[in-house]
Chain A
Amino acid sequence: MVSPAIALAFLPLLLTLIIRYRYYFVLFYRAVLVRIWRDCVTGLSREERAYQYVLVHATPGDPDSILEAFDVWCSKVEYISNIGPKKGKILDRLLMEQSPLTVLELGAHCGYSTVRIARALPLGARLYSVEMDQRNAAIAEKIIRLAGFDDDTVELIVNPSDEVIPRLRADYGLERLDFVFMDHWKKSYCPDLQLLEGSGLLGKGSMIVADNVLFPGAPKFLRHIRKSGLYEWKVHRATLEYSKGIRDGMAELVYQGIK
């Protein structure tokens, strides 16, 4: 029906879209297509494959080598959305400045960020890591123990975050959270933040770091922190983990308390 000439006129548009969004296509290929293919071929889940790799290539007891093994696997072999080396450095710096004693992590996934945070903790600090999924939690537990962190430093809680947060004070005897790291489902950022505010565990100066606020993005979360006026916030701009061209950001919030 439509002549070939008109169809050919759309060619520049196609080329433009492909070139402009090439990083997104690459990400799609690695995160979705390769994963499906490997799932069908090997029968293990993605996290289990990662664990196998880390077991082979990292030295036990050395968190740095574990993190490096993870980075290599995520960049070269397959893709898992850990926090990545660049944003991880920002996280390390924030932790060093803050030196928190009680840290809450929402969304451990494979345990990469848990190991990263635990590595930068001062003596006597304790990290509570919340993970919803059973299998992921099992793998995360193994990785954390492989890194050499014992129960004093890191405690893994296997429950959805909206059930854990109201019971933190009762079950675990926490009075105040110095640092919160959010890396779970993006649509849960805002409800969990509101739960934390309601629970009274945040004090003046508590820092909350939320990952991936620009891609995939958490618009309700950003809107909430802008409007509520309870936080001094800024967004650290970086690129998405293991990808060069996709812009992403980490939101850093410092709780100011009700004025």
Chain B
Amino acid sequence: MNDEVSIFQEEREKERRRRRRDGERDKKRRENGRRKASKDETSEVDNEDNEEEDDKEKELRPEDLSPEELEKLKEAVDERKKLIQSLRGKPWPMKKKLVALRESQEFVEKYEGALGKGKGRKLYAYKVMMTKKWMKFQRDLENFKTACIPWEMKIKEIESHFGSSVASYFIFLRWMYGINMILFGLTFGLVMVPEALMGRPYGSIPRKTVPRAEEASAMDFAVLWDCGGYAQYSVLFYGYYNNQRAIGWLKFRMPLSYFLVGVGTVAYSYMVVIRTMARNANESGVGDDNSFNFSWKTFTSWDYLIGNPETADNKFASITTSFKEAILEEQESRKDDNIHLTRFLRVLANFLVLCCLAGSGYLIYFVVRRSQKFALDGLENHTWWERNEVNMVMSLLGMFCPMLFDVISTLENYHPRVALQWQLGRIFALFLGNLYTFIIALMDEINLKREEEMIVKFNITMWETSLYNGTEPENSTAPPISIHPADVPRGPCWETMVGQEFVRLIISDTMTTYITLLIGDFIRAVLVRFLNYCWCWDLEAGFPSYSEFDVSGNVLGLIFNQGMIWMGAFYAPCLPALNVLRLHVSMYLQCWSVMCCNVPQERVFKASGSNNFYMAMLLVILFLSTLPAIYTIVTIPPSFDCGPFSGKKRMFDVIHETLESDFPAWFGKVFSYASNPGLVLPFILLMVLAIYYLQSTSKSYKEANVELKKKLQAQNEENKKKNKRAALQAQMVLEEARKVASQTAGQPNNSTVLQEYESEAFYF
């Protein structure tokens, strides 16, 4: 490429010189004609100036160039551009690269404009300039976007101290925060704000007013903290919303918007999670083969993001330990003894874990039953402990059972990564069991409330007739009797109750996390640091010591909290807002606590392998947590006097209503055809078949990959063998030569014979 360019430049030089000579001759003739009496210097200067101008004009005049030369010029410019782009990957020293870059850029600038033909030249130059400006703008935009990423410096600092696995938790937290921001935007902007601004104000209708009986205590902090009082009768919960079809001057369809936002949050979450999973799957790269274990460990163990000497020492020690373990494992896998004992121990461990899970599930069920009993008695008769029993027990179990699983897993004697996956799976099962027990208990409560509702409805009709009978004895159309909304008897709004339960659960979970953080990490670190001077054993090396950051436990906690948000967001629109606040505080608190109270882990794991694992868990939780919400929406009729769907038979009737009233008739027809089971079922079948087909194709691709890898390996091994054989042969020939040389010692042409043999051996 360089040769072409240089050849081209030489030709240009030759032409230039030719033209200059011609031009000089012409000019001299002209000048000799015009200025006979001018001084030599000025004429020389003029000559030079004229020459330069001529040169410039001649260089940029594309009409002078023949089409072949134009082609060559274009090729040369393209090659230079390619060189500029690929310069980063070339194995040259920096100076050479900089010089080449400058030369190429100058060349491109000079000749690019010349490529456009004639009149189109100006347009071409303009286009080129615009492309360059656009690229610069894009680069600046990228830089700006990178600078806008929140908390980037904090996370980098943590990464340099603790390694990439701890940092991956914070990156996950930040990603969660982004999702929750969008959910918050949806619920706040499309549900809470319209109702607050354009709906009926507080106190105008019964559902928006605190009942007379509760008015006295509605502002108490204890009541507010428990989501009662004014907090309950506000946009934060389901019960406040009016079922008016269109509100305000915008004719905003409130119930439709509520329903669609609920569906939209779920749909958006699915889309984001699956998109991230797909991206991670693409990046997962070569992965760990089971062959060349030690080579992989030797060349890929180091974490280049570490920036702190103590962490580097730790990483060094952990790599050494992992080598020792790998060697031990190799030895043990060849020994393969006592497999019955191992199997028995593993079965025993799983049995113990199952017992623990069953025990925790039963405990939660028992506690929820007890709290229902308390609720029937009236909540004021019980202490704070008894009222918040459910949340406390769930949080405590969620904290203590994983430790027990960890201890039981030492029986099993697995490889640490496998043990970690088992541990995560068990914690997952624990949280899921607890959550579903909670939901089942909640369902019981919903049914109770619905029965109560029937009674209240009956009572209301009685009360209304009594009112009318009291004031107007005649059976005429009575004027509307004005009763203060606070005095109207209310039904027990089960949806608000569900929302309140979730909000309480989230708050207590958050409080437990923060208190555990403060006590388990901070107070412990303070004690270890300051009691160490006067304690009999070394507190830093021995028993309490500083705590390590538990990545998997924290990630699971985050995932399950998100699951609870998804579950409850339909009934309490304030939940995404609460979660955004919680994640924001968590980020700062945990960043501080990690840097202040934790020490780097002794065994450091690669984070990349588990990324998709956490995403998969998030997807499962998303599915499992939206299931109960969807079930309640589809089967249970909404309360008769609260919420945006009051008065309808089912909550999704709002869609049908919208289709009838807001869309033209043909749209409704099309929709009814499209939702015909006869059409939907074949469509579902088609999708299932498509999934099956894609799955089998991807499997065959994977198999082809494995085959190729095997072929590569076999090829490598053959090459190795060939090289070995060649080396052996060379060695043998050399030895023979030496023997011969030593045997024929004393002969004059000794050394030459030896050299001949050596050269022969060399050619092998």
Contacts and interface: CB of A to CB of B under 8 A. Distances in A.
B537 interface: yes
Nearest to A187: B536
B542 A10 contact: no
A19 interface: yes
Interface stretch (B248-256, B399-407, B631-639, B734-742): B399-407
Interface in A197-234: 214-219, 222
A5 B363 contact: yes
A5 B541 contact: no
Given A216-B537, A217-B538, A219-B538, A9 B407 contact: no
A186 B540 CA distance: 15
A42 interface: no
Given A6-B396, A215-B542, 15 more contacts: A3-B389, A9-B392, A9-B397, A9-B400, A11-B400, A12-B404, A13-B404, A16-B404, A214-B541, A214-B542, A215-B538, A216-B537, A217-B538, A219-B532, A219-B538
B192 to A, nearest CB: 36
Contacts of A222: 538
Interface residues of A, number: 25
Contacts of A8: 363
Interface string B406-445: 1110000000000000000000000000000000000000
B26 interface: no
Contacts of B577: none
Interface string B662-688: 000000000000000000000000000
B538 A218 contact: yes
A11 B403 CA distance: 11
A13 B403 contact: yes
B400 A5 contact: no
Contact of B389 (A5, A19, A21, A214): A5
B341 to A, nearest CB: 18
A19 B410 CA distance: 10
A41 interface: no
B277 interface: no
B534 to A, nearest CB: 10
Interface of A: 1-3, 5-6, 8-13, 15-16, 19-21, 24, 186, 214-219, 222
Given A214-B538, A214-B541, A219-B532, A10 B396 contact: yes
A1 B385 contact: yes
Contacts of A216: 536-538, 542
Nearest to A218: B538
A186 B363 CA distance: 47
B367 interface: yes
Given A3-B385, A3-B389, A5-B393, A217 B400 contact: no
Nearest to A216: B537
Query: Interface centre among A2, A21, A218, A219, by most B CB within 10 Å?
Result: A219
Contacts, number: 71
Contacts of B408: 19
Nearest to B367: A5
11 contacts: A2-B385, A3-B385, A5-B389, A5-B393, A6-B393, A9-B363, A11-B400, A16-B400, A16-B406, A19-B407, A217-B537
B520 to A, nearest CB: 12
B383 interface: yes
A193 to B, nearest CB: 16
B356 A12 contact: yes
B386 interface: yes
Contact of B366 (A5, A21, A24): A5
B81 interface: no
B200 interface: no
Contacts of A3: 370, 385-386, 389
B396 A16 contact: no
Given A13-B400, A19-B407, A6 B385 contact: yes
Contacts of B396: 6, 9-10
Q: Report the 3 A-B pairs with minimum CB-CB distance, sorted nearest first.
A: A217-B538, A216-B537, A9-B396
A12 B537 contact: no
A214 B538 CA distance: 7
A216 B400 CA distance: 28
Interface in B520-572: 532, 536-538, 540-543
B401 A12 contact: yes
Contacts of B540: 219
Contacts of A13: 400, 403-404
A78 B540 CA distance: 29
Contacts of A1: 383, 385
B407 A217 contact: no
A217 B404 contact: no
Nearest to B388: A6
B488 to A, nearest CB: 37
B28 to A, nearest CB: 84
B403 A5 contact: no
